[in-house]
Chains A and B, each alone.
Chain A
């Protein structure tokens, strides 16, 4: 086995092995568990760095293993895979730190961190899957490993949220499976290839291809929370804050959006997808989801629910970008895959901080929060401004490219959708910022658990992660043109998709 074959496997193993060991640890072995967690997260980042350097300099990383006659497990680390891998690997480190602080003294931590690591393992598998068969294996594995995290608290509400989640995702998985086997049956394989499976697309009946596309997109659309398949996401917010971060930014909805990217670009190919009249309906669904999510977010008083609907809306920016024919749309969508993750995780970290430190769960309780927790509120403000697409934030970069993409593709309605959504974003985020900074604080917080000590408004493990991710939101915009920024990677992928079709 060569190094190029081992590296993708090592990235997967770097969270799988710690995860499996953590399951066997007794509850009280906090130090061993924390060490394992962090060692895994740091190793993963280092390995990802190696892969990034390799891919930028033109190396290819792939490994194949035959599972059944004609059926292969394939991992490959290409630029698109790395976009997702580096996002998840980085955010996993922050989320792990945050979770260690958040779950101090909580019961069942070994179980929690075990599944937490497996969850990221599944995400890595999804990112580096080299064909739909492999993608599906890890996609379902992600469902199975997130369920215990969602129901972690074990109360009736959590169990209900978990059941709803399973209902949606297992149903989606079944639909996806039918689509994949059908495709495999027609083509004999389901490899992700730049430019799509052209041989198949020329020969197979048009109607079959359209039906398969519908099945595949409906399958991944559940996790991407496309309307009307989004119902599980607001319910799943009963989970602890680090899990919400995982669901909304690191793993689950991203896995869905990433699936859309792979299916459109590397199964169908953007050209064929357009020729089969598949792009316009997809863009339409994304547009509806963007407006629907933003609209629903306006009326949520529960902070995490408001953020959840905001995710419904924001993830579909990615889908919209993918569905816009043209380089700019692709770049915008892919960059937003990363940008949305960083911004949304900041917001969820902050929401968790308000809840843990002061017992604030509702928007209406947030008055004066900025004075009591200035750093958290600063991070929150940066995240929220990013979501609105304010200048100097990552959100502005992706929105600019998306707008350009919509115009290039001749879909003027999409520009209106994006503008409308930005206005709605402002309408549901600005009141929060107003409350945080400009309204007086109440005499007493709902349930203050962590007292402020000097500049340390809350536990430092809870404070540092959102500050770091908020900083990233700014950096991703200020250094958007640097060699390894999310935008640059997205442009690299875009160039390959449009200028270098596979032979």
Chain B
């Protein structure tokens, strides 16, 4: 048991709150260094926690020493630890990028809002009761909306409002569900609930499950509840898009998965057909999102729709949990690979758009040759999104197909393969422009780009590809999952 004062569990939540406040005080546009230093510390905490969990199993912490039901229990198992490392690592890379990206002073309240966003996400991964999860969910939602609106342009404000509505409806539905659970069971602590809910299940709990699931699916932007995502992710400044697409939607997915495997496992066991719903919607998301990405005219819209498609994959794992550990491995690996790849792709796109002063897909033809590192990052991230080897996306696809075959759900394998091919259409739509010889008038005056903007993208993309070969620690963490 580590000393309470230095328990990484606590600091993972406290540090971001601290830097959110510190960066807020000096006024808009300040605070990059504080945030980056703090993110380094957070990453250290997350890694230490992970090592702890691999060595000794899941961890809990009672905030202030008060036990449940009065106190606030914090809990971390392998799944949470993996998400925490992913979040801090991607966050750090994006923060380094953002420091250069916002060098023109346009960051406004980016840093404090991002601080609250990380406090919310880390809290969400670590909370052990449904009500606290609601609080963190709300914090994440509001900070994310704030980040979208922060750019100050009209279309960003419109996208943020839409996002705000979706977010509020989502968390409202979730909160309603929490109230119903509390009414039926008298507790909201996850570990108590898991043992408490058993057949026969009262209708109130079914309703609670439906409400919470619907709310979380709306926040995760699962087709057809994705309508708010493309404008929010596509119109925000590049670092914000990266954080939202790579991390924020994963947080609500994480909670959905947690509830599915934890308190509501009994309900799912009673009605196994339930698993088909997320999977069917997920398949539709893969096909629809890819199709829209193929047709998108603006580069960031293309990437945003790609997120809609890639989120669909995450939901394909629900009917195949019968196939052993494969499904969870596939899900976590896909979440991780997509998180790193999508962050890389959004920030690479941000660099390309800034240099080319043109955000259409066709506009990439002229700039790509000037920024080989960024282009390479974009391509590597694309390899992972297409699920081509040796990337993390590929390994996740392999595991998913294996899981699908093991549980006899061939159609899931077909969706996964088709989605990969569709992804290659929209990725190569961009890449092949890079090879086109510009026809004179597209000549651009070279504009120097800070190295940090190019190399952070490459780092993230390389991580995503590297996950295909070095994912064993991730799988080791999954053996430490308490449900």
When distances are taken between beta carbons in the complex, the residues of chain A under 8 Å from B397 are: 177
Query: Is B302 engaged at the interface, CB distance under 8 Å to the other chain?
Result: no
Complex CA gap A185/B435 in Å reads: 39
Residues B398-438 near A (CB distance < 8 A):
398-399, 401-402, 405-406, 413, 417, 420-421, 424, 428, 432, 435-437
Question: Closest chain B residue to A160 by CB distance?
Answer: B432
Complex CA gap A174/B397 in Å reads: 11
B250 to chain A, nearest CB (A): 21
B402 touches A67 (CB 8 A): no
Query: Is A275 engaged at the interface, CB distance under 8 Å to the other chain?
Result: no
A-B contact pairs, 19 of them (CB 8 A): A23-B376, A65-B469, A67-B471, A67-B472, A68-B395, A68-B398, A68-B471, A69-B325, A71-B398, A111-B372, A136-B389, A138-B389, A140-B388, A148-B435, A151-B435, A158-B435, A163-B432, A177-B397, A184-B402
| Contact pick for B432, options A68, A138, A162, CB 8 Å | A162
Query: Is B49 engaged at the interface, CB distance under 8 Å to the other chain?
Result: no
Query: Is A33 engaged at the interface, CB distance under 8 Å to the other chain?
Result: no
Q: Which 6 A-B pairs have the closest CB atoms?
A: A154-B437, A137-B389, A185-B405, A151-B435, A181-B401, A174-B417
User: Chain A: residues with CB nearer than 8 A to chain B?
Assistant: 23, 65-69, 71, 73, 111, 133, 136-138, 140-141, 143-144, 148, 151-155, 158-159, 162-163, 166, 170-171, 173-174, 177-178, 181-182, 184-185
B326 to chain A, nearest CB (A): 9
When distances are taken between beta carbons in the complex, the residues of chain B under 8 Å from A65 are: 469
20 new A-B contacts at CB < 8 Å, known A67-B395, A67-B468: A66-B472, A67-B471, A68-B471, A68-B475, A69-B329, A133-B398, A136-B389, A137-B389, A140-B388, A144-B383, A151-B435, A154-B436, A155-B437, A163-B428, A170-B424, A173-B388, A178-B417, A181-B402, A184-B402, A185-B402
| Contact pick for A152, options B383, B394, B435, CB 8 Å | B435
Complex CA gap A66/B443 in Å reads: 48
Query: Is B482 engaged at the interface, CB distance under 8 Å to the other chain?
Result: no
- The 0/1 profile, CB within 8 Å of A marked 1, for residues 369-385 of chain B is 00010001000000100
When distances are taken between beta carbons in the complex, the residues of chain B under 8 Å from A73 are: 469
Complex CA gap A178/B401 in Å reads: 8
Query: Is B390 engaged at the interface, CB distance under 8 Å to the other chain?
Result: yes
B421 touches A137 (CB 8 A): no
When distances are taken between beta carbons in the complex, the residues of chain B under 8 Å from A136 are: 389
A159 touches B421 (CB 8 A): no
Complex CA gap A155/B365 in Å reads: 12
Complex CA gap A23/B397 in Å reads: 29
A68 touches B388 (CB 8 A): no
- Please judge, given known A-B contacts A68-B329, A174-B420, whether A137 and B390 are in contact too, CB under 8 Å: yes
Question: Closest chain A residue to B396 by CB distance?
Answer: A68
A119 to chain B, nearest CB (A): 15
| Contact pick for B399, options A68, A155, A159, CB 8 Å | A68
Which of B325, B376, B437 has the most CB atoms of chain A within a 10 A radius of its CB?
Answer: B437
Question: Closest chain B residue to A137 by CB distance?
Answer: B389
Complex CA gap A111/B424 in Å reads: 21
| Contact pick for B406, options A171, A178, A185, CB 8 Å | A185
When distances are taken between beta carbons in the complex, the residues of chain A under 8 Å from B395 are: 67-68, 71
B323 to chain A, nearest CB (A): 10
B267 to chain A, nearest CB (A): 29
Complex CA gap A66/B402 in Å reads: 17
When distances are taken between beta carbons in the complex, the residues of chain A under 8 Å from B420 are: 174
